[in-house]
């Protein structure tokens, strides 16, 4: 593994090391030849990966919903800016979403400012240029986060596979060991 690969955090996801030599792995002092103990640890690690996957999938879903909302808000700000420069004080008539599938008509006076809902019961007034810049930055950040989450999910899938293969190899080692014991008995 190169230095660049070591620097990649993958959201704190611990790597699952592939067990090359099951015999020496099981003979180590940490494992003591106890397949049940090792399989239990691997199962616990697998469950932790599942939990991490659920969290990452929830974050990805939030971002997938957030990005279109931000883009619609940015489009609206661009429309307000365009209308302000093209019209000579005319009001803009538009429809806006009240709730799912319920729209209402609105008449908007030309303005240099807009209010943005920031969440947590906070709304701030911005100039149209500042609002467009803020929303553009938020869209860029959300897209970068989405890309990082996709990379983390890919890494996590690799860890699932490695852990499952390790579990199968330890299980098979234990089956062969017991069969050998039964034959010698």
Question: Does residue 18 have a pLDDT over 50?
Answer: yes
Give the pLDDT confidence of 30-55 residue by residue, as tens digits: 888 899 999 999 999 999 999 999 99
pLDDT of residue 111: 87
Output 143-150 pairs: Cβ under 8 A, ≥24 positions apart. Answer: 143/67, 145/59, 145/63, 146/60, 146/63, 146/64, 146/67, 148/11, 149/11, 149/56, 149/59, 149/60, 149/63, 150/60
Q: Please tell me the pTM assigned to this model.
A: 0.78
pLDDT of residue 8: 53
Q: What percent of the chain has pLDDT over 70?
A: 94
- Residue 156's closest CA among 29, 57, 81? 57
Task: Write down the mean pLDDT value for the chain.
Answer: 90
DSSP single-letter state for residue 16: P
Report residue 32: phi and psi, to 5°.
Answer: 55, 25
3-state secondary structure at position 139: helix
pLDDT of residue 168: 96
Q: At what angle do helices 128-184 and 35-86 cross, to 10 degrees?
A: 160
pLDDT of residue 98: 87
In whole angstroms, how far apart are CA 78 and each of 86, 123, 150? 12, 19, 30
pLDDT of residue 6: 46
In whole angstroms, how far apart are CA 11 and each of 14, 34, 66, 151? 9, 32, 21, 10
Question: Does residue 121 have a pLDDT over 50?
Answer: yes
């Amino acid at each position: 593994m190169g230095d660049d690969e070591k620097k990649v955090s993958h959201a704190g996801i611990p790597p699952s090391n592939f067990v090359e030599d099951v015999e020496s792995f099981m003979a180590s002092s940490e494992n003591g030849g106890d397949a049940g103990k090792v399989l239990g640890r691997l199962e616990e690690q697998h469950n932790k990966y599942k939990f991490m996957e659920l969290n990452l999938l929830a974050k990805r879903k939030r971002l997938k919903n957030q990005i279109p909302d931000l883009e619609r808000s940015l489009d609206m700000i661009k429309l307000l800016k365009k209308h302000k420069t093209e019209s000579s004080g005319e009001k803009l008539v538009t429809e806006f979403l009240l709730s799912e599938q319920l729209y209402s008509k609105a008449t908007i006076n030309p303005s240099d400012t807009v209010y943005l809902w920031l969440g947590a019961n906070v709304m701030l007034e911005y100039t149209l240029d500042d609002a467009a810049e803020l929303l553009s930055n938020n869209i860029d950040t959300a897209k970068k986060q989405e890309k990082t989450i996709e990379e983390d999910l890919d890494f996590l899938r690799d860890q699932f596979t490695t852990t499952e293969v390790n579990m199968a190899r330890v299980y098979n080692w234990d089956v062969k060991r017991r069969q050998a014991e039964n034959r010698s008995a």
